[in-house]
Each structure stands twice: as C-alpha cells, then as structure tokens.
Structure 1
Amino acid sequence: MLRSKQPKITFISMNSANIHQEAPRVEVIIETPRGSFLKRRSTGELDFISPVPCPFNYGSISAFTGLDGDLLDAVVLGPRLPAGTLVRVHARGAIRMIDQGMYDDKLICSRSPISPWQQRLILLFFMIYAKAKSLINLARGHRGRNNCEGWHDAEDALARATLRANADRKGTSIT
C-alpha cells in the first residue's frame, strides 16, 4: 500500500532576527469582510458561499499581481471592515499556498505584530482552507494540486509578485 507523503510545513517565528525590521506597508482593498459567508473575487464577482464565516478581512493588493495572475491576496487581522475599504497596514508575513498547481501567496497583515500562537492559528486555517479549496476545484472540474506550504516572510511574497504600473486603488481609505 502506498502512503502519501506528508507536506513539509515551514514555520518562521516572529522571534527571528528580522522582527526588528519595519514590516512592509501595503494598501489592501477589502473584498470579503470578516464574518462574511460570501467569498468575492477582486472583480466583485461571487467566488463561492462558505458554510462557515470568514475569520479575517480578505482582500487584495492592487499594486501587485501574484504568480497565479490575479491581484496579490491579503488578509487583514482585526475588527470587521466593510467591503470596499482601502486600508494601509503592515504585511507581517505570508502564507504560501498552491491553488490549481499555481502559487497563490496570501499576505498576512495587521497593525501590530502577530504572536506565535496567532501564526499557528492562521496557518491551521489555511491548511484546512487548502483542503476545502481542493473540493471546490474538484466540483468545478479544475485540475491541479492544492496545498498550504507554510508561513513565510512578507518580503518573499512581495518579491515573487509583479508590481503593476497602473494599479487601481478604489475604495474608502482608512489608515
């Protein structure tokens, strides 16, 4: 009987030497408010209806395109923000995801540093999310592997993304 190989999960602690560096600041437009059951794309189109509410404010960074060709994804920790809100916040880390065989990094953003236990909870969420996304993609007839590859530096995700020349920054701005 063949056993499937367990994915290697990388976890970078916020207690590492780079904690003293200023986290990069990004502008995130909120597409899916915390607590929403409706997951929307950056175009506003409904992506799917979730059986559980989203635990984060979920959005994108219009200044960058991710490796999957879509706007770079970001979650913003903290209180619920209305859809369409443009928030300037620090990118504290990134979750490296694979969706349909393509890298799909998720920047993890917050106003204050993220504790190691918060990192573990966020990572656990995205590990479960990767499994759920596999089922969604299967139902849609999409092929390709889905996986969560762990916590990484925000700078790595930003360096892998492509800077867009004419980024649209629509929404109600808060800092």
Structure 2
Amino acid sequence: MIGSNKPEIPSASMISMDIHKEAPLVDVIIEIPQGNFLKRGSTGELDFISPFPCPFNYGSVPAFIGLDGDLLDAVVLGPRLPLGATVKVPALGAIRMIDQGVYDDKLICSYLPISPWKQRLILLFFMIYARAKSLLNLTRGRRGRNSCEGWHKAEDALARATLRSHVDWEGRTMPF
C-alpha cells in the first residue's frame, strides 16, 4: 500500500532470490532419492540396504572431492528427486562429520531457507547416523572415530574440499 508504514513481508520467492545471491550454488547428482532404502556411493555401487528410508535426497557434488577421497556429499531438501537427477541448488550450510577419523562434510542444500527447527532435526539425524556408522565400522573391523561435529557454513566445507579438476579421481579411496 502506498504511504503505508507497514513493513513488507517477504514472500518465499523473494527469500529464495536472496539465498541465490548469498549462498554458493552447486550442482548435485542425486544418488539416493528421498524415501529410498538403497545406499549407493558416488560410483553407483550398492553400499548397503538400510532398515530405514533416507529422509532426504542424498547425493554428491561432482566438482569437488572431500577430505575422505570421495565426491563431496550433499543433501538436497524438498520434494523427492529421481535417481541420477542433477540439480543446481544453493548450499545453505554443512554438517561436519568425522568418519573413521577423517572429515566427511555434508553440504545442506535447499531452494528455501532452513528454519532453526529443521536445522536441529537435520543435525539430530546426522548425530544418530554417526553413532550407527560407529557400530557398522566396528562390525567391519574399521578403526577411527565417528562423530557429528555440528552445523557449519557451506563455504567452510567447500574450502576444505579439492576441485576435481585439480585431481585425477577414479572413485573413493576409503572403504564405506
């Protein structure tokens, strides 16, 4: 309204546009669609069959290699995406994981802002995941600490990763 002192409430599309200006955009290939029970790695190999469905679209950023020697992991929030889909999405944060004693960052990507409540749920999932991975590694005889180190900036995870163009990558170096 012209002449009104009422502040304008931003719409979801306005917020989404602001996110695109501030957050790094990454291409993510979906390896595990939301709701899927099959855990596949970035090379397409079946790692395991989960007793629980994946709560997110899970994939990797083919332009970056994480400190674990595999493509940088990424979660894409929102509706279920098909296996193999590639999406360009803002990276709004990262969960810093340690797997077998090595950093294994997970970018958290979304077209819309992530509420503090949703951030806590995502963090809780990865805290439980780290404990489950500890048990899995124990049964497989793999050593090294597994933990969830919390929510961090996406830029930090991208800075720790290596551009794939600088490395000859043929698949992950650490066993799942």
Check whether TM > 0.5: yes
Larger radius of gyration: 2
CA deviation string 1:31-83 (max 9, x = no partner): 00000011100010011111110000000000000011100000000111111
Counterpart code for 1:129:
Y
CA deviation string 1:95-139 (max 9, x = no partner): 000000000000000011111001000000000000011111112
| Cα separation, partners in 2 of 1:60 and 1:20, compared to 1, 3 Å | closer
Q: Which residue of 2 aligns with 1:132?
A: 132
Whole-Å separation in 2 of the counterparts to 1:133 and 1:117: 24
SS of alignment partner, residue 142 of structure 1: coil
Q: Which residue of 1 aligns with 2:143?
A: 143
Whole-Å separation in 2 of the counterparts to 1:76 and 1:165: 23
SS of alignment partner, residue 136 of structure 2: helix
| 5+ long unaligned stretches in structure 1 | 1-18, 168-175
Counterpart code for 2:87:
V
Whole-Å separation in 2 of the counterparts to 1:36 and 1:136: 19
Counterpart code for 1:47:
D
Whole-Å separation in 2 of the counterparts to 1:135 and 1:152: 25
Using the size of structure 1 for normalisation, the TM-score is 0.82
SS of alignment partner, residue 114 of structure 1: coil
Offset of 1:21 from its aligned partner?
6.2
Offset of 1:164 from its aligned partner?
1.1
Q: Which residue of 2 aligns with 1:82?
A: 82
Q: Which residue of 2 aligns with 1:15?
A: none
Q: Which residue of 1 aligns with 2:163?
A: 163
Q: Which residue of 2 aligns with 1:48?
A: 48
Q: Which residue of 1 aligns with 2:121?
A: 121
Counterpart code for 2:41:
R
Whole-Å separation in 1 of the counterparts to 2:150 and 2:21: 21
Counterpart code for 2:95:
I
Counterpart code for 1:118:
K
Counterpart code for 2:163:
L
Structure number with greater CO (CA < 8 Å, separation at least 6) is: 1
Q: Which residue of 2 aligns with 1:67?
A: 67
